[in-house]
Chains A and B, each alone.
Chain A
Amino acid sequence: MSEHHKENFITKYIFSMDHKMIAKQFLLTGMFMAVVGMLMSAIFRVQLANPGETSILYNLLPSTWLNDAGGLNPDKYLALVTMHGTILVFWVLTAGLSGTFANFLIPLQIGARDMASGFLNMLSYWFFFIATVVLLSSLFVESGPASGGWTIYPPLSALPQAIPGSGTGMTLWLISITLFVVGSLLGGLNYIVTILNLRTIGMTMQRLPLTVWALLITAILGVLSFPVLLSCGLLLVFDRSFGTSFYLSDIIINGEVLHNEGGSPILFEHLFWFLGHPEVYIILLPALGIVSEVISVNSRKPIFGYKAMVGALLLIAFLSFIVWGHHMFMTGMNPFLGSVFTFTTLLIAIPSAVKVFNYLATLWRGNIRFTPAMLFAIGTVSAFITGGLTGIILGDSALDINVHDTYFVVGHFHIVMGLSAIYGMFAGVYHWFPKMYGRMMNKNLGYIHFWGTFICAYGVFFPMHFLGLAGLPRRYYSNSAFPMFDGLSDINSLITFFALAGAIVQAIFLFNFFYSIFKGTKASQNPWKSNTLEWTTPVERIHGNWPGELPVVKRWAYDYSKPGAEEDFILQTEPLKDGEIEH
């Protein structure tokens, strides 16, 4: 491959095949969608605090979404919830997180000039981009966007008579998600092949940074689980548009008797969650990979138990394929099957516990340097502990009877999946920003951003557990219909307060990000004194990453504060000294 292509504006910034540029495209699109998704959550939080009342935030919505009094319509509340979930799960935490960092880090950290196929990589982004456009366009459809929850369970999602959003909005949702899956698959293929084949000399699998390990396992999960979403969606498309009965049976809707017989909505749930559960780890694992790297670099210590960390990743990935039934304990499944899923689900706690203890052991007797990235990395571990523990309640089928689909679940997954992953993403952005843009992000704004986010996020999501234990179901437009929930309005107001405050705090990050792209102080080549290969490239972005020969790797990525070394870090390209043992 030739090292320097001639580039014009279009091939450099738009139809770029350079992995670093594609990573930035993913990042910016993901950030844009994150803002959209967050605004949606701000709007429905306002509704939950002041049901039926009007709010200044509603100016952002089309007027058809509001009733005459200026309040939010119930079905549009569900639309907001659905789109918030879809955007955050798929657009921000799947594409925004793994799309950004897989593209950016894989070639740089394994010592490759680019991805195995730059063209497929570019295609992957553009599929994602079109998917984004289609999804956003569904917001402006007369009957509203998809409103049946991000899990789109039929029959609700199959019947426009059941909820208006299941009409055109749902069709666009399905088109959009199909494009999205195709994009993800193209990306995933590329990541796997790149990691397996294009590692530079000396970069054995045992020397791979944990980020790359996490991204590899994520990609494998994606390639094996996303096709299932496609087949699941295909059958739904046939049911919706062509009159088959895969998921539909014995239905009367608005007085109309449907002809469908024999299908099973539960089949949809099985297929959906066969993707859906690995998807959780597709979101989480890259964040854990990033955090491993950031914690190790900034503790100035090797990551504790490298092999156990890799093993835990592999075990979590494997188990994630056989636990999907825990989303369906209450579907009337065979109780024995429920027992099996409880067993496999609770097993995941073991590798997760190992990871947490290894992070703690890495911090122990470290020389911790609190960069904004490090703050977010510690935040991830905290969220992973807090949210992971409640998983032990939810994974236990007997306990799930009473907390299933309540706010307890909402609190749980927002902390363990939402916060952990988004903190991991922030850690990644702060850590690799100098490599991406050649400039530093402002440190003090980063500190303010972290503490604001950390406080507000726990203020939002921790109280939700109590709502759930009080029996409050999720996806309720208002809690005023049941006298038993009257006492919960204070908690709801508190959550909304923190949600809005948290949203405002994110503006600091956006400001810092865009300001630093143009005006940040210039970065040096290796600002964090890190070992991995990406910091041996020049500060200026060049196609092909290294100007001369590819670097040759002589040691693992985590030789920090090694006794006998002059500095507290040793680049991976540094040969072992006489008599020095690896690790």
Chain B
Amino acid sequence: MTNILIFIIVISVIATLVQIVRVSELLSEIKNKDVNEVTDKDNNTQGLLFLIVGFGFLIFVVWQMITWDHLLLPPASSVHGTQIDLLMKVSMGLIIVVFFITSPMLFYFAFKYRGKKSNNAYFLSHNNKLEVVWTVIPTIILTVLIIFGLKTWDNAMNVEVTESTKLIEVYAKQYNWTARYSGLDNKLGKANYKLVKGKNTLGVDMLDINSADDKMAREVHLVVNEPVLLKFRSQDVIHSAFLPHFRVQMNCVPGITTQFGFTPNKTTAQMKESEGEDFEYVLLCNKICGASHFNMQMKFIVETQEEYDIWIASQDNLEKKLLTQK
């Protein structure tokens, strides 16, 4: 029934449009004018519209920046993230300035130079000096941005791994995450996908001497201000581990181990204070991986050393979990 109704509405709208267009054409025929000729009046209206709608758009942009500012991610909760935020501020500031120079120019030119039958355009085919200027200026600005960007990138990706760096594996599969702590020896035992069986969901090689004290968990606890190196593996398709609050992202690729090192510098409790009681650090999947891609998450908790020690002690190690409990 609704379909028929929609059909009838569509037909009548088309019929009305045809009538309107016919009438306007007939009217201009009577006046002996070409309905599709662009008149000075059209130029005035359209030029003015560019001014109004164009600047309306710019106001809309400013409105969005103000209204939705509180929805954006809070400042980074990691050491390298702070530098990324700075680079983001600089780049964003720059493109906003360029945007608010060039866009108004475009809309204003459209308005200002709207045509008139009696007017003539100014013949100007090129101006080498001008062209050099607007090639060189972007080049200089970009050089600065590139250098700043590459430094930040280097800093974020080439983390130094020291004794105190905690090693944690994050294992992705459709559609959940599992973490593996490296235990007292801070070494992850070897793993192989062929060993995935029963409780050994990560395929850890229990014959490896480093495996026994590893611990598996469904949430990740980190110690504030302690560097951590995340190692990523995937069981089935490509996933992407995305920790927006820490400015961390890395793909998890089957057959390959990837990694990302960072140092969290704000505890969950601190964040709850500034961002509200509901705040949690989360790990999201950010590479299309199947039907439940949108709901593949794991909690991250940043806490003090004492809190962490209590939590980690409560977790069974793999030797106990896989070998003794049958």
Task: Assess A/B contact in the complex (Cβ within 8 A).
Answer: yes
Are B236 and A442 touching (Cβ within 8 A)?
no
Q: Give complex CA distance A487, B276 in Å.
A: 13
Are A346 and B193 touching (Cβ within 8 A)?
no
A560 interface contact, C-beta 8 A? yes
Q: Give complex CA distance A79, B240 in Å.
A: 20
Whole-angstrom distance from the CB of A86 to the nearest CB of chain B? 14
Candidate in A59, A148, A398 with the most chain B CB atoms within 10 angstroms: A398
Q: Give complex CA distance A354, B131 in Å.
A: 7
Are A350 and B286 touching (Cβ within 8 A)?
no
Chain B residues contacting A481 (CB-CB under 8 Å) are 294-295, 297
Nearest opposing residue in chain B for A511, CB measure:
B17
Question: 0/1 per residue, B288-315, Cβ < 8 Å to A?
Answer: 1111111101000000000000000000
Q: Give complex CA distance A496, B84 in Å.
A: 32
Contact of A443 among B42, B60, B249 (CB under 8 A): B42
Q: Give complex CA distance A440, B36 in Å.
A: 7
Contact of A398 among B49, B102, B153, B254 (CB under 8 A): B153
Nearest opposing residue in chain B for A263, CB measure:
B255
Which B residues, 9 to 52, have Cβ-Cβ distances below 8 Å to chain A? 14, 17-18, 21-22, 24-25, 34-38, 42-43, 46-47, 49-50
Q: Give complex CA distance A394, B143 in Å.
A: 16
Whole-angstrom distance from the CB of B229 to the nearest CB of chain A? 13
Chain B residues contacting A385 (CB-CB under 8 Å) are 99, 102-103, 106
Nearest opposing residue in chain B for A510, CB measure:
B14
Are B130 and A454 touching (Cβ within 8 A)?
no
Contact of A78 among B21, B34, B139, B291 (CB under 8 A): B291
Nearest opposing residue in chain A for B135, CB measure:
A354
Are A561 and B120 touching (Cβ within 8 A)?
yes
Q: Give complex CA distance A346, B135 in Å.
A: 14
Whole-angstrom distance from the CB of A148 to the nearest CB of chain B? 6
Chain A residues contacting B322 (CB-CB under 8 Å) are none
Question: 0/1 per residue, B72-102, Cβ < 8 Å to A?
Answer: 1100000000011001100110110011001
Nearest opposing residue in chain A for B99, CB measure:
A389
Q: Give complex CA distance A335, B291 in Å.
A: 32
Are B139 and A350 touching (Cβ within 8 A)?
yes
Are A332 and B121 touching (Cβ within 8 A)?
no
Question: 0/1 per residue, A200-229, Cβ < 8 Å to B?
Answer: 000000000000000000000000000000
A299 interface contact, C-beta 8 A? yes
Are B254 and A365 touching (Cβ within 8 A)?
no
Chain A residues contacting B254 (CB-CB under 8 Å) are 155, 248-251, 265
The verdict on A515 contacting B116 (CB below 8 Å), with A155-B237, A561-B123 known, is no
Contact of B290 among A75, A382, A398 (CB under 8 A): A75
Contact of A396 among B46, B149, B287, B288 (CB under 8 A): B149
Interface segment, A187-195, A355-363, A539-547? A355-363
Are B242 and A473 touching (Cβ within 8 A)?
yes
Q: Give complex CA distance A304, B105 in Å.
A: 16
* Count of chain A residues with a beta carbon within 8 Å of a chain B beta carbon: 129
Whole-angstrom distance from the CB of B39 to the nearest CB of chain A? 10
Chain B residues contacting A396 (CB-CB under 8 Å) are 87, 91, 145-146, 149, 153
Please tell me the size bucket of the interface on B: 35 or more
A375 interface contact, C-beta 8 A? yes
B216 interface contact, C-beta 8 A? no
Chain B residues contacting A361 (CB-CB under 8 Å) are 124, 127, 130
The verdict on A393 contacting B42 (CB below 8 Å), with A360-B106, A583-B126 known, is no
Candidate in B87, B196, B249 with the most chain A CB atoms within 10 angstroms: B249
B282 interface contact, C-beta 8 A? yes
Are B288 and A78 touching (Cβ within 8 A)?
yes
Contact of A306 among B3, B87, B126, B235 (CB under 8 A): B126
Q: Give complex CA distance A399, B156 in Å.
A: 10
Question: 0/1 per residue, A437-478, Cβ < 8 Å to B?
Answer: 000111111010001001100110011001001110101111
Q: Give complex CA distance A73, B294 in Å.
A: 12
Q: Give complex CA distance A249, B149 in Å.
A: 34
Which A residues, 344 to 379, have Cβ-Cβ distances below 8 Å to chain B? 346-347, 349-350, 353-354, 356-361, 363-371, 375, 378
Are A363 and B294 touching (Cβ within 8 A)?
no
Contact of B291 among A163, A399, A508 (CB under 8 A): A163
Q: Give complex CA distance A485, B273 in Å.
A: 19
Q: Give complex CA distance A478, B297 in Å.
A: 14
Chain A residues contacting B291 (CB-CB under 8 Å) are 73-75, 78, 163, 477
The verdict on A338 contacting B157 (CB below 8 Å), with A462-B64, A563-B123 known, is yes
Nearest opposing residue in chain B for A357, CB measure:
B134
Which A residues, 466 to 524, have Cβ-Cβ distances below 8 Å to chain B? 466, 469-471, 473, 475-479, 481-484, 487-488, 491, 508, 511, 515, 519, 521
Are B123 and A562 touching (Cβ within 8 A)?
yes
Are B84 and A401 touching (Cβ within 8 A)?
yes
Are A447 and B46 touching (Cβ within 8 A)?
yes
Contact of B121 among A59, A300, A392 (CB under 8 A): A300
Q: Give complex CA distance A55, B240 in Å.
A: 32
Are A390 and B95 touching (Cβ within 8 A)?
yes
Chain B residues contacting A331 (CB-CB under 8 Å) are 251, 253, 258
Q: Give complex CA distance A293, B150 in Å.
A: 38
Candidate in A306, A381, A462, A473 with the most chain B CB atoms within 10 angstroms: A473
Question: 0/1 per residue, B165-188, Cβ < 8 Å to A?
Answer: 000000001100000000000000
Whole-angstrom distance from the CB of B276 to the nearest CB of chain A? 10
Contact of A330 among B43, B60, B250 (CB under 8 A): B250
Question: 0/1 per residue, A324-347, Cβ < 8 Å to B?
Answer: 000000111001001100110011
Are B247 and A156 touching (Cβ within 8 A)?
no
Are A399 and B91 touching (Cβ within 8 A)?
yes
Candidate in B149, B248, B295 with the most chain A CB atoms within 10 angstroms: B149
Are B84 and A252 touching (Cβ within 8 A)?
no
Question: 0/1 per residue, A126-169, Cβ < 8 Å to B?
Answer: 00000000000000000000001100010110010011000000
The verdict on A305 contacting B286 (CB below 8 Å), with A346-B142, A350-B135, A396-B149 known, is no
Whole-angstrom distance from the CB of A118 to the nearest CB of chain B? 33
Question: 0/1 per residue, B136-157, Cβ < 8 Å to A?
Answer: 0011001001100110111011
Are B35 and A521 touching (Cβ within 8 A)?
yes
Q: Give complex CA distance A378, B54 in Å.
A: 11
Contact of B3 among A59, A302, A381 (CB under 8 A): A59
B326 interface contact, C-beta 8 A? no
Interface segment, A97-105, A275-283, A402-410, A530-538? A402-410
Contact of A399 among B3, B84, B194, B286 (CB under 8 A): B84
B226 interface contact, C-beta 8 A? no
Which B residues, 104 to 135, have Cβ-Cβ distances below 8 Å to chain A? 105-107, 109-110, 113-116, 119-127, 130-131, 134-135
Whole-angstrom distance from the CB of A204 to the nearest CB of chain B? 16
The verdict on A332 contacting B250 (CB below 8 Å), with A363-B109, A462-B60, A561-B121 known, is yes
Contact of B284 among A78, A353, A482 (CB under 8 A): A482
Q: Give complex CA distance A102, B55 in Å.
A: 35
Nearest opposing residue in chain A for B295, CB measure:
A481
Chain B residues contacting A479 (CB-CB under 8 Å) are 294
The verdict on A483 contacting B280 (CB below 8 Å), with A304-B126, A399-B149, A475-B288 known, is yes
Q: A368-B113, A515-B18 are in contact. List 4 more A-B contacts (CB 8 A).
A: A332-B259, A398-B156, A404-B240, A471-B245
Q: Can you show 18 pairs from A to B with CB atoms below 8 A apart? A: A74-B292, A250-B193, A251-B236, A331-B258, A335-B154, A349-B142, A363-B113, A366-B109, A367-B121, A370-B43, A397-B149, A398-B83, A399-B87, A402-B84, A443-B35, A443-B38, A445-B21, A473-B285
- For the complex of A and B, the 7 pairs showing the least CB-CB separation, nearest first, are A249-B255, A332-B258, A471-B244, A370-B46, A398-B152, A335-B157, A365-B122
